[in-house]
């Protein structure tokens, strides 16, 4: 018997996942925060999600609601598909209805499962299994509420459980749900460190500030915005990410290699790989129009900052990453070094390697 699924978050990714799982025959409920009740009502009136593009069909949902209790009743698998800054507001609504037999997977995780241990009091509810994926299996955009365009489907998604001693249990439960291979990672740090948005989005935003804020016509973010020099800075930030991961015992893949393998692309460097990608460059002028876009307001405090924090704690320098964090904060009037997802917020009160490994293994 197929597990009952609840998707928390009705944005682009949440709708895509809910619609696709419903197409595959799963019983799916879709929830979003009451602040987005108008959108939820539109999807509810449609009765489900229409997928277009690389995945086509209409996924009929069992329920679409802003009532967390209704959404989670009877659920076995819970997917939290929301921007990092929305993870806690959504779980504040849903938390009281998440019981000890549920598996709660963050897509993408962005270190969210580590904070969720305290949000859900999971340390005292030993049956709750948390997990993270590094990215959505889809490249997609909402056309309108209830209609999602799937630009591309990734060849694989990386996933791990918290506690990592239950990795295999999580992977075996969810592997048939996705249109892509699920690759088991060693722990949730490895999945979060593998979200490449931090090194693709953040440098490109900072180095295109003038263009983003000018009155000229929009531009294609991943191609026009990622010139050879911009790509060089992105590659250096990626090298710093990998170095910090290595100090943590993580085996991280360079971004260019990941993009080539995930989308079947070719090229000797990041610039060449992106220039040849319809997934990234085939959608017209898609660049953000403001520096308060989530490519900074999410990816800096919830991805770059945790990585840099581990770098500082372990004595691994990351000057380019820290410069991007500093500049993004100055532009947006934020102190991301203190406001972001710090080691303390993630529950790492000791930064010794053995202490970190124990927390990841045991989840407490």
User: pLDDT for 16-56, tens place per residue?
Assistant: 999 999 999 999 999 999 999 999 999 999 999 999 999 99
Integer Cα distance of 321 and 199 in angstroms:
8
Residue indicated by tokens 């692309």: 265
What pLDDT is recorded for position 235?
A: 98
Integer Cα distance of 231 and 227 in angstroms:
6
How many distinct helices (H) and strands (E) make up the chain?
A: 19, 12
What pLDDT is recorded for position 89?
A: 96
Integer Cα distance of 250 and 206 in angstroms:
28
What pLDDT is recorded for position 139?
A: 86
What pLDDT is recorded for position 122?
A: 57
Q: Which residues contact 52 (CB under 8 A, 6 or more apart)?
A: 143, 147, 148, 149, 150
Helix or strand holding residue 257 (H, E): helix 255-263
User: Other CB atoms closer than 10 Å to residue 312's CB: what's the count?
Assistant: 15
- Residues (pLDDT < 50) of the chain are none
Strand positions, DSSP E, the chain: 5-8, 28-31, 48-53, 57-60, 63-65, 77-80, 103-106, 129-133, 138-144, 147-153, 156-162, 181-184
Q: What's the DSSP call for residue 303?
A: I
């Amino acid at each position: 018997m197929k597990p009952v699924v609840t998707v928390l978050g009705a944005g682009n990714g949440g709708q895509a996942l809910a619609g696709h799982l419903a197409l595959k025959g799963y019983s799916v409920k879709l929830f979003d925060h009451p602040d987005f009740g108008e959108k939820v009502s539109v999807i509810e009136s449609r009765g489900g999600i229409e997928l277009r593009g690389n995945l086509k069909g209409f996924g009929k949902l069992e329920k679409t609601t802003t009532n967390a209790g209704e959404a989670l009743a009877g659920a076995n698998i819970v997917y939290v598909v929301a921007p990092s800054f929305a993870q806690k507001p959504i779980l504040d609504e849903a938390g009281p209805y998440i019981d000890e037999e549920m598996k709660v997977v963050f897509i993408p995780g962005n270190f969210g499962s580590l904070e969720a241990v305290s949000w859900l009091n999971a340390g005292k509810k030993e049956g709750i299994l948390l997990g993270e994926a590094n990215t959505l299996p889809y490249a997609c955009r909402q056309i309108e509420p209830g209609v999602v365009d799937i630009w591309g489907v990734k060849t694989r998604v990386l996933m791990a459980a918290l506690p990592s001693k239950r990795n295999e249990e999580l992977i075996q439960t969810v592997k048939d749900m996705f249109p892509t291979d699920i690759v088991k990672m060693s722990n949730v740090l490895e999945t979060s460190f593998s979200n490449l948005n931090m090194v693709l989005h953040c440098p490109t935003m900072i180095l295109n500030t003038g263009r983003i804020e000018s009155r000229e016509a929009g531009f294609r973010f991943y191609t026009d915005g990622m010139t050879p020099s911009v790509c060089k800075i992105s590659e250096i930030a990626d090298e710093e990410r990998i170095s910090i991961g290595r100090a943590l015992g993580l085996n991280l893949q360079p971004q260019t290699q990941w993009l080539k393998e995930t989308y079947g692309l070719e090229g000797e460097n990041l610039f060449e790989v992106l220039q040849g990608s319809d997934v990234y460059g085939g959608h017209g002028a898609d660049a953000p129009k403001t520096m308060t876009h989530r490519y900074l307001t999410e990816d800096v405090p919830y991805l770059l900052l945790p990585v840099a924090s581990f770098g500082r704690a372990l004595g691994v320098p990351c000057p380019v990453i820290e410069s991007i964090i500093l500049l993004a904060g100055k532009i947006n009037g934020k102190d991301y070094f203190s406001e972001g997802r710090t080691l303390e917020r993630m529950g790492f009160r000791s930064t010794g390697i053995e202490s970190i490994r124990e927390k990841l293994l045991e989840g407490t």
